[in-house]
Chains A and B, each alone.
Chain A
Amino acid sequence: MNNILIVGEHDGRSLNPATPKCVTCALTIPEGEITVALFGADTAAVAAQAAAVKGVAHVVCIDRPENAHPLAAILAPQVAALAAGYSHVFGPSTSFGKDLMPRVAALLGVPQVSDLMAVESAHRFRRPIYANNAIITVEADPARKLVATIRVASYEAAAAAGGIADIGSRTLEVALPAHTRYVGSRTGSTDRPDLQTAARVVSGGRALGSADNFKILYSFADKIGAAVGASRAAVDAGYAPNEMQVGQTGKIISPELYIAIGISGAIQHLTGIKDARTIVAINKDGEAPIFEVADVGLVGDLFQIVPELERLAGA
């Protein structure tokens, strides 16, 4: 019997789609029972969503004012305390999970499997290294608790309805540090689909030339209901904000359709899109490495192609 604890990600209102993806991964652990833990100031609404996710057996809420913002230094000792009685502790491979889970692992005195992409057995997993240029199979000691971040691009989300988990709450007697304080956030306010979970993504590179020129991508993306991403070069140049970066050090995504526009296709970028179902490349350089991985390529001037594509896509 494997008792799997998933640290749920949420913003106080909605469960992040990364969490149902962790559930899908956890369901591949043999003889597993899945508990989703929610840390927040008031997690009642999110708990109802988590309990409905198919495959979840229990939802545990740990509500206290200090948990209003997910600070790793505040949450880690609580997760570590809650982990007693569980064989596996999972978090998503998002900025939330990547920040938190290694701190949990260290408190528990165990190693972490980062970016777990496939389960071979309860203690044998696959994960990518070298920007996804090699895949290793690692074995963990079954005598130790297993901490992992789940590479969400490798898993489909478990169904959001049909689950019948019970919801409980826990009070953990854990002293919390005062040395870390939340100050504020700047989030890109957008009505577009979330980059990490969108079925369609339109992405721009340095060839766009300016932040202003990115507008032709936004316009096209809105026409086809796509999220918008960017290469590191475009973000570094200030054409797009950091949260739009796709690649080894940005977001790893797996949309049905990825349209790379004016992106040459550095290895670090390709790492972020290898799991896309269909990749379309539009670039004026027919020799660009992006064409090596693209399912469909079109060589030409993006400033002519994109408006025409927008016109024809809706026709």
Chain B
Amino acid sequence: MQKIMVCVKRVVDYNVRIRVKPDGSGVMLDGVKMSVNPFDEIALEEALRIKERGTNAEVVAVSIGVADTQQQLRTTLAMGADRAILVQTDQPVEPLTAAQTFLAIAKKENPDLILLGKQAIDDDANQTGQMLAALWERPQATYASKIEVGADKVTVTREVDAGLETIEVDLPAVITVDLRLNEPRYVKLPDIMKAKKKPLDVTSLAALGISAGQWLTTVKTQPPPQRQKGVIVKDVAELVDVLKKKGLL
């Protein structure tokens, strides 16, 4: 294992409460805290652990987004990535375009393994890893909760609806990671200082030959229907009574 590529997305922080703009044109993003997509952070942590277990693989973090995405890439460098690449664009990037872009980078970098989160917590699309694997004509192992790296193959335990499934894939491969794979490390101050000296290259969609095509047009954004606040009952007998009256027990 010589090189691991980790794809990361800049997203609205996990703790921010999302509000829809009154005119339905989108969600309010002005001034909100942005972070590395939490699933991508788990992917990076796993790459670092594979490196630290003795493979000594180079870990390259790649992102696509606005110029400020450099902040999130600096976080990945502080966590331990060796270098970072930003494909800078002001256009919104849909999963198929993201997959095409990561493919272009993969063709230059020739990684043995590509790790990324199973979904981004903004669009919840859950597509990019699978699309990248298809375009790269390589195996995919989605929703990984355990990864065992061999010489030329990887054994992956996947979280599926029925429980856990184990598959074996030849390298190079794309793995998308689930929540319980690991717990990402905290970044220490000296690491942040060191990260400033690590290489962060900036390129563009055009330089990679990618046209930022619009695949789906978002015509409206609405708040979800709200549930009405219900009643508080005083004891179990009253609860059972209410549920029986509703025909639920």
Note whether A and B form a binding pair. Answer: yes
Whether A114 pairs with B180 at a CB distance below 8 angstroms is: no
The digit string for A263-306, where 1 denotes a CB below 8 A from any CB of B, is 00001000000100011100000100001111111111000010
- Least CB distance from B228 to A in Å reads 8
Whether B161 pairs with A251 at a CB distance below 8 angstroms is: yes
The digit string for A92-109, where 1 denotes a CB below 8 A from any CB of B, is 001110111111111100
| Bound CA–CA A104/B228 (angstroms) | 40
Give every chain B residue within 8 A of A309 (Cβ-Cβ). Answer: 236, 239-240
Number of A interface residues, CB 8 Å? 86
Taking a contact as CB atoms closer than 8 A, the residue among B139, B155, B223 that contacts A73 in the complex is B139
Whether B243 pairs with A280 at a CB distance below 8 angstroms is: yes
Taking a contact as CB atoms closer than 8 A, the residue among B27, B119, B140, B215 that contacts A111 in the complex is B215
B46 at the interface (CB under 8 A from A): no
B188 at the interface (CB under 8 A from A): no
Most buried by B among A130, A131, A299, A308: A130
Whether A130 pairs with B121 at a CB distance below 8 angstroms is: yes
A1 at the interface (CB under 8 A from B): no
| Bound CA–CA A96/B126 (angstroms) | 12
Whether B239 pairs with A298 at a CB distance below 8 angstroms is: yes
- Least CB distance from A18 to B in Å reads 9
Most buried by A among B118, B119, B220: B220
- B223 closest partner in A (C-beta): A134
Give every chain B residue within 8 A of A187 (Cβ-Cβ). Answer: 162-164
Query: Beyond A113-B216, A296-B239, is A99–B130 a contact (Cβ under 8 Å)?
Result: yes
Most buried by A among B119, B135, B249: B249
User: What is the interface of chain A mostly: helix, strand, loop, or mixed?
Assistant: mixed
Whether A294 pairs with B163 at a CB distance below 8 angstroms is: no
| Bound CA–CA A102/B96 (angstroms) | 9
| Bound CA–CA A140/B214 (angstroms) | 10
Number of B interface residues, CB 8 Å? 79
Whether A185 pairs with B127 at a CB distance below 8 angstroms is: no
Give every chain A residue within 8 A of B160 (Cβ-Cβ). Answer: 95-96, 185, 243
Query: Beyond A99-B143, A105-B96, A179-B169, is A185–B18 a contact (Cβ under 8 Å)?
Result: no
Query: Beyond A111-B96, A134-B221, A138-B216, is A313–B249 a contact (Cβ under 8 Å)?
Result: yes
- Least CB distance from B25 to A in Å reads 11
Give every chain A residue within 8 A of B237 (Cβ-Cβ). Answer: 312
Give every chain B residue within 8 A of A130 (Cβ-Cβ). Answer: 12, 18, 27, 121-122, 124
Whether B162 pairs with A139 at a CB distance below 8 angstroms is: no
The digit string for B151-190, where 1 denotes a CB below 8 A from any CB of A, is 0000100111111111111100100001110000000000
Whether A139 pairs with B219 at a CB distance below 8 angstroms is: yes
Give every chain B residue within 8 A of A124 (Cβ-Cβ). Answer: 219
A219 at the interface (CB under 8 A from B): no
Whether A106 pairs with B134 at a CB distance below 8 angstroms is: yes
Whether A179 pairs with B138 at a CB distance below 8 angstroms is: yes
A132 at the interface (CB under 8 A from B): yes
- A313 closest partner in B (C-beta): B249
| Bound CA–CA A98/B94 (angstroms) | 16
| Bound CA–CA A43/B119 (angstroms) | 32
- Least CB distance from B111 to A in Å reads 16
What are 30 A-B pairs at a CB distance below 8 A? A72-B140, A94-B161, A100-B130, A102-B131, A103-B131, A105-B96, A106-B130, A110-B96, A112-B95, A112-B96, A112-B125, A113-B216, A114-B126, A115-B124, A130-B12, A130-B18, A130-B122, A137-B222, A140-B216, A181-B169, A242-B164, A243-B161, A274-B227, A278-B246, A293-B227, A295-B230, A296-B231, A297-B233, A299-B232, A313-B240
Q: Residues of A with Cβ closer than 8 Å to B?
A: 11, 71-73, 76, 94-96, 98-107, 110-115, 124, 128-141, 177, 179-188, 196, 200, 224, 232, 235-236, 241-243, 248-249, 251, 256-257, 267, 274, 278-280, 286, 291-300, 305, 308-309, 312-313, 315
Q: A136-B221, A183-B168, A298-B235 are in contact. List 8 more A-B contacts (CB 8 A).
A: A73-B139, A99-B142, A103-B133, A134-B221, A183-B166, A183-B167, A298-B239, A312-B237
